[in-house]
């Protein structure tokens, strides 16, 4: 097959994707989200994936993605579904239930967490979700392990007939190293579930399935305790024992820079937390330092409730900062090593936060919104997830809220219900099809006085201008949901149209019902051919 | 031996091209590599950096610890200074002198230059102009790479080969412009590196 001895230089995300291809997947289902995006993009670009007809088109959101992956698994084939941590909240319904039904063809859920919130609203730790669903969790520590753990995950999934969660973190997702690949496994043939009631989660069958899930927990623990990816390394100095999970292991070893670590170390890359080696560490060492990126998941589990013995330290004890990502330096501190820093950042250096691109249509939209805000006095603008979230920052400071995908429309509705006017929602085209459509329907049903501005740049821009499910469909969708024709308008956010746009939006704000303004201008990050095509399409739809 | 390099710039300036050349050459020499980069929100005109680590032994951390960088290469003078806490005491600073101004409180250029020149191992060059002289301002990055090439644990031939490999699909003309830019960087750096 295609095994070879030359190393490929791959991001952690790409190594994982190559692992999935070589594990014989028949499809990847995902919605873009930093830091997870490159996994699906790698498969989309892969020649071999194309030849093998591996499905890789973007899904509309994480829930549709995971459900489609489950459907492929039902058919007996292996499927991968990928999202960022907050995307798992969207897919939580199917995620929690498919651990009860179990799977047929191997199903692996990859969730990329974002400790330090480089590109996110929170730093939630997906390991809690894995524990919640009572399924195995894998947490690679380096790029080679990303590749190997993914292949293993599919075998484990089929062995247990359960979905398996792989947890990534930003720094591993977005760091490159040389990777050795191994043989590719052929794709599964279609084969239907043996038990025809397995996927029928009506109470009478669900109870049996759930009992089964509970019963096999001891097996799942035993597999974890014997896993190749969990490793106990002896050390002569037992004044402290160290547990390092995932990428934390690298930061730990960095501090010994090629020398042997004198302390016993338990490296964890598979969960449930392996009890036997943890017990050994607690019994033989005076103290145990827990190093984990994200929440204190292991530390909380192995500390006694009142922590009176104070023999477990980490983020909860304050030895490691409770928030933000790990790095070699905060681990050096916890180990009691001195860090030598010769320089500080000179005072002359200014901050440089991200900003909207020069020539971005969102800029001209915010100009119009801000003008109306001054005019109207108490205008409230509910924002959403995407590049236009940067409208919260200077120089625009146009939006008041930013919570989750789709919340702009529903929050605007709730605020309008409370009596606020003008109540304006700003949402991107892709975010609208991801999670905004249902909220718009709700507003239409009550004809709530809100103005929804869909800032349509025909791309999932923030994550790299991927194709948007909304492209060319927005007007039909809004009409279909029931927005009145006379309050569904399209504008072009360009500086030369500023006054006209202000007047048009003002009219809609003054209308005491649901109005939708589609502000259409292709993302500047799109290639020229695509922009030209979109502008053509727009002319046609307007005529 | 381990070499730690920080690449600095503003999202969209293309610092990853420099990383890609170093990575390709290092991989070709069977060296270990780790290279972290920034994707997502910060890419939109914000400060971005990449940590590149090359070694003949296993590399653990994807991030360079503070005070352990051998070289900081920046395509912009202010961004260079942002990463000073990572620099080793005898480490090298290399930067293009042209500012990228997309903020209202960008400092006075002279203040930045003064701060940079405080360091004995600093290479402040108008790489953009040198690239323009060759006829391809996009090759600014390769001028900077050329300037630090003698500090890298990779041979000149390997780096040139990597440039050829990376720009191959853009045609011979682009390959040659980038090689020329690389040579220019090497020449100009001689006066800074003894």
Domain assignment present for B46: yes
Domain assignment present for B194: no
Percent with pLDDT over 90 in chain A: 91
Q: How far is CA A138 from CA A26, A93, A161, A166, A427, in A?
A: 21, 21, 16, 5, 35
First to last CA, chain B: 21
Class of domain A8-215: alpha beta
Residues A188 and A73: their CA atoms lie apart, in Å, by: 10
Domain range holding B97?
2-189
pLDDT digits (tens, 9 = 90+) for A373-425: 999 988 999 999 999 999 999 899 999 999 999 999 999 999 999 999 999 99
φ, ψ for residue A451, nearest 5 deg? -115, 120
Query: Helices A12-22 and A143-160: crossing angle, nearest 10°?
Result: 40
Which chain A residues have a beta carbon less than 8 Å from that of B23?
A: 9, 176
pLDDT band for position A1 (cuts 50, 70, 90): very low
* Domain locations in chain A as residue ranges: 8-215, 231-335, 361-542
Torsion, Cα A145 A147 A153 A154, to 10 degrees, reads -160
- pLDDT at residue number A541: 61
Residue A87 has pLDDT above 70, yes or no: yes
CB contact under 8 A, A35 and B42: no
CB atoms within 10 A of CB A342: 14
Percent with pLDDT over 70 in chain A: 98
Q: In this structure, which long-range contacts are made by residues A153-157, counting pairs with CB atoms below 8 Å and at least 24 apart in sequence?
A: A153/A23, A153/A106, A153/A108, A154/A20, A154/A23, A154/A24, A154/A25, A154/A78, A154/A106, A154/A108, A154/A185, A155/A23, A155/A106, A156/A223, A157/A103, A157/A106, A157/A107, A157/A108
For B83, name the nearest residue in chain A, comparing CA atoms only. A345
For B112, name the nearest residue in chain A, comparing CA atoms only. A348
Question: Hunting for tokens 């200074």 — which residue is that?
Answer: B81
Please list, in sequence order, all residues whose beta carbon lies within 8 angstroms of the beta carbon of residue A248, skipping any fewer than 6 positions away.
A141, A291, A292, A293, A326, A331
CB A126 within 8 A of CB A164: no
pLDDT digits (tens, 9 = 90+) for B111-121: 999 999 999 89
Give the mean model confidence (pLDDT) for residues A142-162.
98
Chain-wide mean pLDDT for chain A? 95
Torsion, Cα A50 A56 A57 A63, to 10 degrees, reads 170
Residue A340 has pLDDT above 80, yes or no: no
Question: Hunting for tokens 């031939």 — which residue is that?
Answer: B157
**N residues, chain A:** 543
Residue A112 has pLDDT above 60, yes or no: yes
pLDDT band for position A279 (cuts 50, 70, 90): very high
- pLDDT at residue number A3: 45
Q: In this structure, which long-range contacts are made by residues A207-211, counting pairs with CB atoms below 8 Å and at least 24 apart in sequence?
A: A209/A100, A209/A101, A209/A102, A210/A100
Coil, strand, or helix at residue A112?
strand
CB contact under 8 A, A327 and B112: no
Domain assignment present for B43: yes
Torsion, Cα B60 B65 B71 B76, to 10 degrees, reads 120
Give me the residue from B35, B103, B115 closest to A175, CB to CB.
B35
Query: Helices B15-28 and B140-148: crossing angle, nearest 10°?
Result: 50
Domain assignment present for B41: yes
Class of domain A361-542: alpha beta
Q: Is B3 on the interface with A (CB under 8 A)?
A: no
Per DSSP, A401 falls in state B
Give me the residue from B32, B57, B107 closest to A348, CB to CB.
B107
Residues A15 and A427: their CA atoms lie apart, in Å, by: 34
Which chain A residues have a beta carbon less than 8 Å from that of B72?
A: none
CB contact under 8 A, A387 and B44: yes
Chain-wide mean pLDDT for chain B? 94
CB contact under 8 A, A352 and B47: yes
- pLDDT at residue number A530: 85
Class of domain A231-335: alpha beta
Q: Which of A238, A334, A226 is nearest to A281 (CA)?
A: A238
Q: How far is CA A193 from CA A72, A164, A211, A336, in A?
A: 12, 18, 19, 55
Q: Decide whether A231-335 matches A361-542 in CATH topology.
A: yes
Please list, in sequence order, all residues whose beta carbon lies within 8 angstroms of the beta carbon of residue A354, skipping any fewer than 6 positions away.
A390, B11, B41, B42, B43, B44, B45, B46
Residue A301 has pLDDT above 70, yes or no: yes
Helices (H) and strands (E) in chain B, counts: 7, 6
- pLDDT at residue number B194: 66
Give me the residue from A177, A251, A356 closest to B44, CB to CB.
A356
- pLDDT at residue number A257: 84
Q: Is A253 on the interface with B (CB under 8 A)?
A: yes
- Its sign, for the CA torsion A46, B164, B39, B69, is positive
Q: Chain B: give the shortest CA distance to residue A372, in Å.
A: 25
CB contact under 8 A, A352 and B10: yes
CB A522 within 8 A of CB A459: yes
Which chain A residues have a beta carbon less than 8 Å from that of B89?
A: 342
Residues A483 and A461: their CA atoms lie apart, in Å, by: 26
pLDDT digits (tens, 9 = 90+) for B80-108: 999 999 999 999 999 999 999 999 999 99
- pLDDT at residue number A410: 98
Rg (CA), chain A: 26
- Its sign, for the CA torsion A497, A502, A507, A509, is positive
CB A79 within 8 A of CB A72: yes
φ, ψ for residue A322, nearest 5 deg? -70, -30
Give me the residue from B66, B79, B115 closest to A348, CB to CB.
B115
Residues B20 and A83: their CA atoms lie apart, in Å, by: 27
CB contacts under 8 A, A 7-26 vs B, are: 7, 9, 11
Which chain B residues have a beta carbon less than 8 Å from that of A342?
A: 67, 87-89
- pLDDT at residue number B167: 96
- pLDDT at residue number A289: 98
Q: Is A38 on the interface with B (CB under 8 A)?
A: yes
pLDDT band for position A97 (cuts 50, 70, 90): very high
CB contact under 8 A, A348 and B11: no
CB A90 within 8 A of CB A124: no
Q: Which of B39, B166, B4 is nearest to A36 (CA)?
A: B39
Coil, strand, or helix at residue A491?
strand
Q: Is B38 on the interface with A (CB under 8 A)?
A: yes
- pLDDT at residue number A101: 98
Residue A540 has pLDDT above 80, yes or no: no
CB A494 within 8 A of CB A369: no
CB contact under 8 A, B41 and A462: yes
pLDDT digits (tens, 9 = 90+) for A25-60: 999 999 999 999 999 999 999 999 999 999 999 999
Domain assignment present for B185: yes
Burial of B120 (0-12, 13-18, 19+ CB in 10 A): exposed
CB A24 within 8 A of CB A184: yes
- How many beta-carbon pairs under 8 angstroms link A with B? 147
- pLDDT at residue number A341: 77
Residue B34 has pLDDT above 60, yes or no: yes
Domain assignment present for B139: yes
CB contact under 8 A, A175 and B62: yes
Domain assignment present for B177: yes
ipTM of the complex: 0.95
pLDDT digits (tens, 9 = 90+) for A449-482: 999 999 999 999 999 999 999 999 999 999 999 9
Residue B49 has pLDDT above 50, yes or no: yes
Residue A542 has pLDDT above 80, yes or no: no
Question: Hunting for tokens 């330290």 — which residue is that?
Answer: A313
Task: Show the tokens assigned to A235.
Answer: 């050390």
Residue A503 has pLDDT above 50, yes or no: yes
Please list, in sequence order, all residues whose beta carbon lies within 8 angstroms of the beta carbon of residue A470, skipping any fewer than 6 positions away.
A429, A430, A432, A433, A454, A456, A458, A477
| CATH number for B97 | 3.40.920.10
How many domains are contained in chain B?
1
């Amino acid at each position: 097959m295609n095994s070879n001895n030359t190393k490929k230089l791959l991001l952690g995300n790409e190594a994982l994707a190559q692992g999935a291809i070589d594990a014989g997947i028949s499809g990847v289902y995902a919605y873009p989200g930093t830091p997870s995006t490159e996994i699906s993009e790698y498969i989309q670009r892969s020649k071999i994936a194309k030849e093998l007809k591996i499905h890789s088109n973007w899904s509309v959101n994480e829930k549709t993605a995971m459900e489609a992956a489950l459907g492929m698994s039902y058919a007996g084939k292996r499927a991968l579904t990928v999202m960022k941590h907050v995307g798992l909240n969207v897919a939580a319904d199917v995620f929690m239930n498919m651990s009860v039904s179990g799977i047929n063809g191997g199903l692996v859920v990859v969730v990329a967490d974002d400790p330090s919130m480089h590109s996110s609203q929170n730093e939630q730790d997906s390991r809690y979700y894995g524990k919640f669903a009572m399924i195995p969790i894998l947490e690679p520590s380096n790029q080679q392990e990303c590749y190997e753990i993914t292949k293993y995950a599919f075998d484990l999934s089929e062995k247990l007939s359960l979905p398996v969660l792989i947890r990534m973190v930003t720094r591993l997702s977005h760091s490159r190293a040389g990777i050795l690949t191994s043989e590719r496994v052929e794709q599964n043939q279609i084969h239907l579930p043996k038990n025809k009631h397995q996927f029928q989660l009506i109470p009478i069958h669900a109870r049996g399935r759930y009992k089964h899930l509970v019963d096999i927990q001891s097996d799942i623990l035993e597999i974890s305790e014997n896993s190749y990816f969990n490793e106990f390394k002896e050390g002569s100095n037992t004044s402290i024992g160290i547990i390092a999970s995932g990428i934390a292991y690298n930061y730990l070893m960095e501090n010994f820079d090629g020398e042997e670590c004198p302390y016993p170390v338990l490296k964890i890359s598979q969960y449930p937390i392996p009890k036997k080696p943890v017990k050994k560490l607690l019994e033989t060492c005076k103290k145990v330092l827990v190093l984990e990126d994200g929440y204190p998941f292991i530390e909380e589990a192995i500390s006694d409730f009142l922590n009176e013995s104070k023999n477990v330290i980490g983020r909860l004890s304050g030895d490691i900062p409770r928030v933000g990502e790990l790095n070699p330096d905060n681990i050096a501190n916890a180990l009691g090593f001195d860090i030598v820093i010769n320089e500080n950042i000179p005072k002359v250096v200014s901050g440089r936060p991200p900003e909207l691109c020069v020539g971005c249509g969102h800029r001209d939209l915010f100009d119009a919104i801000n003008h109306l805000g001054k005019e109207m006095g108490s205008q409230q603008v509910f924002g959403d997830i995407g590049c236009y979230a940067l409208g919260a920052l200077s120089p625009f400071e146009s939006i008041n809220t930013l919570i989750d995908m789709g919340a702009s429309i529903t929050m605007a509705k709730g605020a309008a219900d409370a009596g606020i006017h003008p109540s304006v929602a700003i949402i991107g085209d892709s975010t609208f099809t991801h999670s905004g459509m249902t909220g718009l329907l709700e507003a239409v049903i009550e004809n709530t006085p809100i103005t929804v501005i869909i800032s349509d740049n025909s791309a999932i821009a923030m994550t790299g201008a991927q194709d948007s499910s909304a492209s060319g469909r927005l007007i039909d969708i809004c009409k279909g949901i029931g927005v009145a024709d006379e309050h569904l308008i399209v504008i072009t956010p360009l500086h030369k149209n500023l006054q006209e746009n202000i007047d048009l939006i003002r009219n809609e704000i003054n209308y005491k019902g649901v109005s939708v303004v589609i502000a259409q201008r292709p993302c500047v990050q799109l290639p020229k051919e695509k922009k030209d095509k979109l502008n053509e399409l727009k002319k046609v739809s307007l005529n | 031996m381990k070499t730690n390099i920080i690449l600095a710039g503003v999202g969209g300036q293309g610092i990853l091209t420099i990383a890609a050349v170093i990575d390709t050459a290092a991989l070709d020499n069977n060296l270990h590599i780790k290279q972290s980069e920034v994707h997502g929100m910060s890419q939109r005109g914000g400060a971005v950096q990449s940590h590149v680590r090359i070694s003949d032994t296993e590399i653990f951390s994807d991030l360079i610890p503070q005070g352990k960088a051998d070289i900081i290469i920046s395509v912009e003078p202010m961004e260079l200074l942002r990463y000073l806490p990572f620099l080793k005491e005898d480490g090298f600073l290399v930067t293009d002198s042209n500012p990228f101004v997309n903020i209202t409180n960008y400092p006075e250029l002279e203040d930045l230059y003064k701060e940079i020149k405080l360091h004995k191992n600093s290479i402040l060059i108008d790489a953009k102009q040198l690239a323009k002289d060759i006829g391809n301002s996009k090759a600014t990055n390769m001028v900077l790479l050329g300037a630090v090439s003698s500090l890298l644990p990779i041979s000149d031939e390997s780096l040139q080969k990597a440039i050829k490999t990376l720009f191959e699909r853009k045609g011979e003309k682009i390959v040659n412009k980038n090689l020329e830019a690389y040579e220019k960087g090497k020449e100009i750096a001689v006066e800074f590196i003894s």
